[in-house]
Structures are given as C-alpha cells and as structure tokens.
C-alpha cells in the first residue's frame, strides 16, 4: 500500500516495515516462487527461542491439491477469501523439549516470534501474510499427520495483494489497515496498574 501513513502513524521512531505490514484479504492471481517463499521461512529461522530449541515447524500448501486439503479444516468465513491465496502455511510448534516429554513452556511464545519475522519479511518483499485462527485445530492436526505433542497455532495465507473488488462485498470496507492502542495503554513502569474499578 502506497499511502499507509494515511492509516498508520507511529508515535515514536521505528522502522517503517512495522507499519507497512498489515493483513489484507484480497489476493492477486499471482504465484509466489519457491525462492521468495523460502526467504519468508529463512526470516522465521532467525527468530530467538528458549535454549535455541527452535520449536517452530511450518507446513505449506502450494499445489491445488494441498491447498484444497488445507481448506478442509479452515472455517467458511476465512475460506471465502483465503481460497484465492497462492500459498497457505500452517504455523506449528513442537510442544515438548527435544529430549523427554516435559512441556517446553515457551514453544508458543517462540513460534509466535518466528511467525512475526515471517510476516515482516513478507511485507519487506511486497507480499501479504494474513494469519487465521479460524480453523478446526483438531482436524488440522489429523489431516497434516501431526503427532499428539505438536500444536497448530494459525494458518497463514500468503501471496500478493489484489484488488478489494475481487472480495465478497461484506469485506470491502474492512480492507484497510487498522490502527493500534497508544503505548501508554499497555506499558507500565515497575508494576501492573489496573485501569478498571475491579
Ligand atoms: C493468531 C491470529 C489469528 C487471526 N485470525 C484471523 C481469522 O481467523 N480471520 C481473519 O480474517 N483474520 C484473522 N487474523 C488477522 C487479525 O484480525 C489482524 O492481524 C488484526 O486485526 C490486526 O490487523 P493487521 O494484521 O492488518 O495489522 C488473525 C491474526 C492473528 C495474529
């Protein structure tokens, strides 16, 4: 998006990529080549993780057959737009430590960082990466042949942005970058302070 500053302005100095990344739903009819897709995974690769365990796993669907398989566990509201994305990625983590069965308490935290890196690299490359929590988690695990100790966190639709007119009309007015709370609403010095009367 050329005029992102019309919708998003940072209050403090940051790299413009954080504002540039957003989650459109309209996808152009254009494939993502494998080296470009690999760059997104490469960015995820360099995320930090507890003890450098790197618990993240990404399963992607590019072929018509694999994308159809992914659509079998994505919820209808999301299918209506993400069926046009040339790539769908399941963001997965291994929940336990590499040795033994103990839970790795930071598997989700670390995998969230990796997805964040992937999304920022996508924006840097002029792609869009739209995460979805609206899918059937149990079915996804089953269909993707994941063992019990793995968790599917999100499905991400990746591709190039298309025209909003290609979307169902109900999405037209939502096809703009969202804003954020001011940092004062979620930053505390020293201790948490409740802002409610509870
Ligand atoms: C874990 C996660 C789950 C999400 N689930 C959905 C979803 O099911 N459907 C959808 O249209 N957008 C989904 N989103 C996109 C968010 O609504 C979007 O990221 C948020 O409104 C902030 O907007 P932005 O990404 O454009 O900055 C999800 C995002 C995340 C990170």
Each residue of 35-62: pLDDT tens digit? 999 999 999 999 999 999 999 999 999 9
- What are the distances in angstroms from CA 166 to CA 29, 45, 72? 10, 33, 22
Each residue of 163-191: pLDDT tens digit? 999 898 989 989 999 999 999 999 999 99
* Biggest distance spanned by C-alpha atoms of the chain: 53
Q: Name the residue of 132, 152, 161, 176 to mutate for ligand 1: max ligand atoms within 8 A of Cβ.
A: 132
CA of 134 to the centre of ligand 1 (A): 9
Please tell me the residue having the least CA distance from ligand 1 atom 21. 178
Contact 134 CB / ligand 1 (< 6 Å): yes
Read out DSSP for 116-147? HHHHHHHHHTT-EEEEE--B-HHHHHHHTT--
Q: Are 155 and 91 in contact (CB under 8 A)?
A: yes
Would you tell me how many other CB atoms lie within 10 Å of the CB of residue 136?
A: 14
Do the bridges between strand 56-61 and strand 150-159 make them parallel or antiparallel, or are there none, so unpaired?
unpaired
Contact 119 CB / ligand 1 (< 6 Å): no
Each residue of 77-130: pLDDT tens digit? 999 999 999 999 999 999 999 988 899 999 999 999 999 999 999 999 999 999
Q: What is the pLDDT of residue 196?
A: 67
Q: What is the pLDDT of residue 198?
A: 52
> From the alpha carbon of 23, which atom of ligand 1 is closest?
26
């Amino acid at each position: 998006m050329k005029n992102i500053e019309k919708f998003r302005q940072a209050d403090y100095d940051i790299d413009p990529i954080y504002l540039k990344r957003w989650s459109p739903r309209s996808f152009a009819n254009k494939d993502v080549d494998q080296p470009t897709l690999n760059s997104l995974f490469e960015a995820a690769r360099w995320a930090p993780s507890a003890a450098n365990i790197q618990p993240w796993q990404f399963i992607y669907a590019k072929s018509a057959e694999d994308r159809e398989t992914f659509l079998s566990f994505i919820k209808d509201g999301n299918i209506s737009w993400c069926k046009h994305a040339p790539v769908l990625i399941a963001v997965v983590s291994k929940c336990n430590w590499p040795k033994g069965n103990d839970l790795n308490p930071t598997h989700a935290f670390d995998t969230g960082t990796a997805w964040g890196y992937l999304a920022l690299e996508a924006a840097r490359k002029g792609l869009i990466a739209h995460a979805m929590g609206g899918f059937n988690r149990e079915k996804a695990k089953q269909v993707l042949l994941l063992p019990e100790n793995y968790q599917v966190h999100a499905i991400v639709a990746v591709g190039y942005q298309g025209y909003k007119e290609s979307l169902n009309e109900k999405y037209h007015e939502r096809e703009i970058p969202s804003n954020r709370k001011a940092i004062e609403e979620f930053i505390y010095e020293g201790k948490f302070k409740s802002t409610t009367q509870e």
